Structure 1
Amino acid sequence: MPPSFPSPSSLTRAAATTATSLPFLARSATTSAGTAVTPNKPPPSKDHHVHTYSPEAFPLGYSVSSTHSGIKKKAGALDLGILVSTSDTPCAAAACMTRNVFKAAPVTVTSELLRSSNGRAKGFIVNSGCANAVTGKKGLEDAWSMSNTTTSQLPGNTQEGTLVMSTGVIGQHLPISNILDKIPDLVRSLDDSPKSWLDLSKAFMTTDTFPKLRAKTFKLGDRLIRMAGIDKGAGMIAPSMGPPQPPHATLLGIIATDAAVNPEDLQNALNYAVDRSFNNITVDGDMSTNDTILCLANGAAGSAEHGGREVKEKMKELTERENPEEFGVFREQLREFAEELAQLVVRDGEGATKFVTIRVKGAPTYEIANAVAKSVANSSLFKTAMYGEDANWGRILCAVGYTPLSPNPISPTSVSVSFLPPASSSNTTPLRLLTNGEPEPNIDEARASEILKEEDLAIEIDLGDGKEEAKVWTCDFSHEYVTINGSTTKRTPRIVFKDEEPSQ
């Protein structure tokens, strides 16, 4: 290894030199004729990621419903759902939404609703199978119709609206008449059963292979707080989301809680959580037009002493200024929950066979650590090596080396790299590959192969230049990813762009 890497090309040359002396690094390369050595292997089953819950696990004061509205081609496939707060006061509502300049119509409508209501909402309506993105004036009219029709069907007189989310094919109009006709039935069938929550998570799905539903409970002062979360996503995943702003597939998510939080502080907590979870995942490096994470807080939580089911008096809304300690607990619980939901999306990446954590430590700032981790996670060469179970760590160094970090360049002689097996492995000892810019002289080839065969693994990169660290979660690139994404327009010729295709 040379003592410094002044350019990405020299990093690549250094990696090639090392590969010559370490034969196992090049084992999964192609032949001179271009024939792949790595066989096409199917993704592992994801069934074990589907969780079921008892009724007590879900937050108080919410009802949900879902149905088939004819967007998806398969008869009976759930493609339309709603969630409504049954609390006597509207929810505090916050959202983090895509920064893609081609914002989908539901993103625009939800942003406007949150602005006009000062961060309050009654609930949301979601459809899958059609993104209602790049659909012009008609798309905006349809998104407003979905929101207004749902709000008009709900009991009571409310000034707050119903938020809107859509996911599916870009460039096609919704079958809006079918959707509007189904909304009264959705409202009549609202309930809070575990089955209804699971069905709602299915109504989010497009190319997802499993419904993504999670629930958690924690204490906050004298209250027992519950959270329920649903998200979806498998392709077109590289979110960069922020709070709603003027002129501001797909990753969609909702976190509903029965905590009471001031809307402004709920937005701040969600920004913090999303920056450290959903904004740190990538499947393919493509940012969608529809990415949206919503958080609703209705304040219906009861006392911890009575299992959260008794409310002597309504919970007072938390603020960061007046309740710094309790707000800090809530924010961290929200972050942890968002992280779990975000990781489910990566685990269900289109064609993915590996779940890979990129951990960068020893950085002077969090931003630098995060940038380096994303650079590696988005590297197609690195991701294909993970699929081929190829220990070519030169690809890792190459991606580290071209990370745009000026005026804080990386010192090559300070960088160390290790493979980390999952905690469930029989041998959790890290395998050091590079130490302070020098390759380890006697790398255990069998140990490298053992780690890379795991479904879960981690790459640790120590920059040796500080105490900050960051994590990014990604998956591998497989033959199946290319198959899924290589013939979209042939199957659906009217598509302009691809968000995510409807389930067939």
Structure 2
Amino acid sequence: MKIIKGGVTAAKGYLATGGHCGAKRKNKDLALLQSIKPAHMAAVFTTNQVKAAPVLWNKAVYDMEKDIKAIVVNSGNANACTGEQGMMDAKKMAVTTADVLNIQEEEVLVASTGVIGVPLPIDKISQGIHDLVGTMSSTLEAGNHAAHAILTTDTYTKELAVVMHIGGKEVTIGGMAKGSGMIHPNMATMLSFITTDVNITQKLFRQALAETVEDTYNMISVDGDTSTNDMVLALANGQADNPIIDCVGEDYTVFKEALHELNETLAKLIVADGEGVTKCIEVSVKGAKCKEDARLLSKSVITSNLVKTAFFGEDANWGRILCAMGYAGVTFDPNKVSLCYSSDKGTILLVDQGVPIRFSEEKASEIMSERNIGVEIVLQEGMEGAKAWGCDLSYEYVRINGEYRT
């Protein structure tokens, strides 16, 4: 497997575009993505009980188990908490896209992101779909235009593509994502769109996505808020012409590992672009009794506001980490916990099997002055581990979200 330049148009058989339709005052705000051939759909949706209209539309399509030919995405307006009109508008986005591409409305997925509780400017979006369809292309530039069009408070696009060989055929996976605030595990406030030309059954494609999401997007947090619009949508159109992956084996493993690499990288890019972020933190838990314990512990640490503020202040207050572990709902012996911090400036041991270590505050400050910081937690309960990714909580985060609608 290797990483290549590109995004959603890197795999064979995909076209994309992005432009401005007026959902936002300026900048690109509408993206179109098309698979030339019908593509299997895999998806994971927000766990928020309040689900935006596009999520409800896509869940209905998902349950039909139909193949997909297009995705339409607007930014600047979430079409969430908009009642019956919101559902009508989501459907109109699908119908309009289907009309201009000469496909069925059930073959179109819809996504929206932006301000909640404001009616969608559906006439502008419908006109934008008509205006943009003629600009669709398979070029990397077209994919980048789409990646720009899905952004809200993001400061940069998040794109990636990976290539591997399966059955002697080159297989590509491409992706684009957005997310900056309202990011929390169990589907964060984010959108991710994945395209691949792999030939795989729908059942295994959905299984691979669900399994990789569990250890990637579900292990990131910026601010503890789970959004109404989050989802990962993935398409597989089979254009790589590899022998079909119809059972769990070597080919499935190769594909799943590449998919995991793509999703983990996109997830980390979301955290790195978190609103007001000055520190990116990776929490690694080792020696847990089971995988779920390791996940719960690492996520509890990464979502603690006291931990986040300590990192913002570059304060090696490791007691806050043990405190966050203690309310994670996991049974462990704190007297057997070891803990260290690391960055490009070195590594410092803070706790050794439950015993606090006298450490150099100067060295700790030097390590914590870096943007990327690792926290390694070692238990003595078992052999399982997990990683979670998060960030600090800064003054700038409060400013951005205090002014979000204005």
Identify whether the pair has TM-score above 0.5, normalized to the shorter chain: yes
SS at match of 1:86: strand
C-alpha distance in 2 between matches for 1:56 and 1:62: 7
C-alpha distance in 2 between matches for 1:261 and 1:142: 33
SS at match of 1:58: coil
- Of 65, 86, 101, which aligns to 2:17? 65
**Given the alignment of the two structures, is residue 319 of structure 1 paired with residue 246 of structure 2, yes or no?**
yes
Identity %: 42
C-alpha distance in 1 between matches for 2:333 and 2:245: 45
Contact 1:363-1:463 within 8 A present in 2 as well: yes
Q: Deviations over 1:405-449 (max 9, x none)?
A: 2xxx2211111110122xxx2x54x311001111113x1222211
The residue identity in structure 1 corresponding to 2:244 is E
**Given the alignment of the two structures, is residue 128 of structure 1 paired with residue 78 of structure 2, yes or no?**
no
Q: Deviations over 1:236-282 (max 9, x none)?
A: 000414xxxxxxx8300011111111111111000001001000000
Contact 2:175-2:193 within 8 A present in 1 as well: yes
The Cα of 1:182 is off from its aligned counterpart by 1.7
The residue that corresponds to 1:194 in the other structure is: 140
C-alpha distance in 1 between matches for 2:6 and 2:279: 31
SS at match of 2:84: helix
Instruction: Please say which of residues 56-65 and 255-264 is displaced more in the overlay.
Output: 56-65
The residue identity in structure 2 corresponding to 1:69 is C
Q: Deviations over 1:16-74 (max 9, x none)?
A: xxxxxxxxxxxxxxxxxxxxxxxxxxxxxxxxxxx993799811100001111101012
The residue that corresponds to 1:329 in the other structure is: 254
Contact 2:301-2:324 within 8 A present in 1 as well: yes
The residue that corresponds to 2:315 in the other structure is: 390
Do the aligned partners of residues 292 and 300 (structure 1) sit closer, same or farther apart at CA in structure 2, a change above 3 Å counting? same
SS at match of 1:206: coil
The residue identity in structure 2 corresponding to 1:79 is D
The residue that corresponds to 1:260 in the other structure is: 199
Structure possessing the higher radius of gyration over alpha carbons: 1
The Cα of 1:113 is off from its aligned counterpart by 1.3
C-alpha distance in 2 between matches for 1:56 and 1:229: 5
**TM-score in terms of structure 2 length:** 0.96
5+ long unaligned stretches in structure 2: none
1:220-369 pair list within 5 angstroms: 220-241=166-187, 250-301=189-240, 314-321=241-248, 324-369=249-294
Contact 1:55-1:193 within 8 A present in 2 as well: no
1:52-201 pair list within 5 angstroms: 53=5, 58-74=10-26, 77-87=27-37, 90-116=38-64, 118-155=65-102, 160-201=106-147
Do the aligned partners of residues 159 and 139 (structure 1) sit closer, same or farther apart at CA in structure 2, a change above 3 Å counting? closer
The Cα of 1:158 is off from its aligned counterpart by 5.1
C-alpha distance in 2 between matches for 1:97 and 1:59: 24
The residue that corresponds to 1:462 in the other structure is: 378
Q: Deviations over 1:471-498 (max 9, x none)?
A: 0000000110011112445x2xxxxxxx
Q: Which has the higher contact order (CA 8 A, sep 6+)?
A: 1
Do the aligned partners of residues 97 and 56 (structure 1) sit closer, same or farther apart at CA in structure 2, a change above 3 Å counting? closer
Q: Deviations over 1:279-322 (max 9, x none)?
A: 00000011000001011111112xxxxxxxxxxxx44431225x
- Of 424, 434, 439, which aligns to 2:356? 439
The residue that corresponds to 1:15 in the other structure is: none
C-alpha distance in 2 between matches for 1:105 and 1:218: 36
Q: What is the root-mean-square deviation of aligned Cα atoms in Å?
A: 1.8
C-alpha distance in 2 between matches for 1:355 and 1:259: 33
Q: Deviations over 1:331-351 (max 9, x none)?
A: 111111100000100000000
- Of 164, 183, 194, which aligns to 1:218? 164
**Given the alignment of the two structures, is residue 207 of structure 1 paired with residue 159 of structure 2, yes or no?**
no
C-alpha distance in 2 between matches for 1:180 and 1:448: 55
Contact 1:260-1:298 within 8 A present in 2 as well: yes
Contact 1:354-1:476 within 8 A present in 2 as well: yes
C-alpha distance in 2 between matches for 1:392 and 1:315: 52
**TM-score in terms of structure 1 length:** 0.77
Contact 1:126-1:164 within 8 A present in 2 as well: yes
1:406-445 pair list within 5 angstroms: 409-421=331-343, 425=344, 428=346, 430-441=347-358, 443-445=359-361
SS at match of 1:254: strand
Instruction: Please say which of residues 158-167 and 275-284 is displaced more in the overlay.
Output: 158-167
Structure with the higher fraction of residues in strand conformation: 2
Do the aligned partners of residues 258 and 251 (structure 1) sit closer, same or farther apart at CA in structure 2, a change above 3 Å counting? same
The residue identity in structure 2 corresponding to 1:102 is V
